[in-house]
Amino acid sequence: MMQHNTTIFIHPLADVQSKNIGDDTKIWQFTIVLPQAIIGKNCNINAHTFIENDVVIGNNVTVKCGVYLFDGMRIDDDVFIGPNATFVNDNHVRSKQYPETFLVTTLKKNASIGANATILGGVTIGENAMIGAGSVVTKDVPANELWVGNPARFVRKI
C-alpha cells in the first residue's frame, strides 16, 4: 500500500481521503478522492474530478477537469482522459435500484479518451487506442485503433 509522503501535491481545496497515492502525483482543487481509491505515481488529477472507492489508476495518468471515475474503473499506465469524459458503471440505471456488482470498465496502457467522450460500462479500450472527442463507445475497442462518432466506429489503425 502506498502512503502519503512529501512528493505528493494535494491542493488545500481538494478532499482526498485515500492514502493509496503514488509519488509525484498532483491532485488539484475541488477534487474528491474516496478512501479505497488507488492512484499511481506521477499522475495529474485536474480540478473538479471525483474518484470513487473501487477505482484503480496506474502511473503517469492524466485526468482532465470534469471527469468522474465511479466504482469499477481500471486505468492502466500512461492513459490520458480528456475534459468532461464520462464513464458509466451501470448500463441499465434506475433511481434507487442498484446492481449487485458494478460493471468494470478498463482503459489499457497508453489509451487516450477525447473530451466529452462517453464510455459505457463493461467496455475495454485497448492499448494505444484513441477515442475521438464527443464519441459514444458502446463496445470494446481493439488496441492501436482510432474510433469516433455516435456510436463510435473504427476509423483507422494507429
**Which residues, 6 or more positions from 15, have their beta carbon under 8 angstroms from its beta carbon?**
31, 32, 33
Helix/strand/coil percent split, the chain, to 5? 0, 35, 65
What separation in angstroms does the CA of 5 have from each of 22, 23, 32, 35? 9, 7, 19, 16
Residue 11 bears catalytic tag = no
Cell matching residue 117: 467522450
Phi-psi region of 78 (alpha: psi -120 to 50; beta: other; left: phi over 0): left
Q: How far is CA 125 from the centre of its chain?
A: 11
Catalytic entry in 4, 11, 48, 92? 92
CA-nearest of 154, 134, 132, 137 to 145 is: 154
Active site residues: 92
